[in-house]
C-alpha cells in the first residue's frame, strides 16, 4: 500500500484543477482535454500544471513521478494539458487522488458543466467566447 501524507485538509484555488478533478472520473479524458485547450490560455494551463506538481510534491509516494518539463513551442497548450492529465492518471493509479488538496474555483462562471443538453452548452460556450 502506498504511503501518503494527508494534505486533503488544505484548499487550493485553481479553477482548472477543480474542473479536471471534478470531471476526472465522470467524463472522458479527451473531452476534458478539449475543454481545457478550447477555453484556457497557455499561462492558465501552465500555472495549473505547476500548482498540481507542487501539490503532488507534498504527497509522499513509494515511487516518484517522472519529470514534467515546462513545454515550449506551438503545441505547448496541448502538451501541458496532456501532462496535467498524465499526472492525475498516475496519482489515480497509486490511489492517492484523495491525498491531493481540495481544488476550488475562484470564479463561479469559469467552466461549463458537461450536461447532455447541447443547446444549453452551446449558449454557455458562446458566453465564454464573448468574455475574450
Domain segments of the chain as ranges = 11-131
Return mean pLDDT, the chain: 81
**77 vs 43: CA distance, rounded Å:** 9
pLDDT of residue 46: 95
For 5, 19, 61, 115, the CA distances from 81, given in Å and listed in that order, are 26, 13, 23, 22
C-alpha cell at 93: 493509479
**116 vs 48: CA distance, rounded Å:** 27
pLDDT of residue 127: 58
pLDDT digits (tens, 9 = 90+) for 32-53: 999 999 989 999 999 999 999 9
Quick one: pLDDT band at residue 124, thresholds 50, 70, 90? low
pTM of the prediction? 0.75
pLDDT digits (tens, 9 = 90+) for 66-89: 889 889 988 999 999 999 999 999
Q: How many CA atoms lie within 13 A of 83 on its CB side?
A: 24
pLDDT of residue 3: 44
Amino acid at each position: 500500500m502506498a504511503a501518503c501524507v494527508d494534505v486533503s485538509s488544505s484548499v487550493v484555488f485553481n479553477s482548472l484543477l477543480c474542473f479536471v478533478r471534478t470531471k476526472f472520473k465522470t467524463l472522458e479524458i479527451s473531452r476534458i482535454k478539449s475543454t481545457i485547450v478550447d477555453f484556457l490560455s497557455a499561462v492558465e494551463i501552465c500555472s495549473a500544471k505547476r500548482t498540481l506538481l507542487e501539490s503532488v510534491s507534498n504527497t509522499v509516494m513509494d515511487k516518484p513521478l517522472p519529470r514534467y518539463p515546462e513545454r515550449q513551442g506551438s503545441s505547448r497548450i496541448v502538451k501541458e494539458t496532456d501532462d496535467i492529465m498524465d499526472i492525475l492518471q498516475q496519482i489515480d493509479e497509486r490511489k492517492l487522488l484523495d491525498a491531493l488538496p481540495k481544488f476550488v474555483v475562484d470564479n463561479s462562471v469559469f467552466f461549463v458543466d458537461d450536461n447532455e443538453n447541447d443547446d444549453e452548452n452551446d449558449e454557455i460556450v458562446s458566453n465564454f467566447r464573448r468574455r475574450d
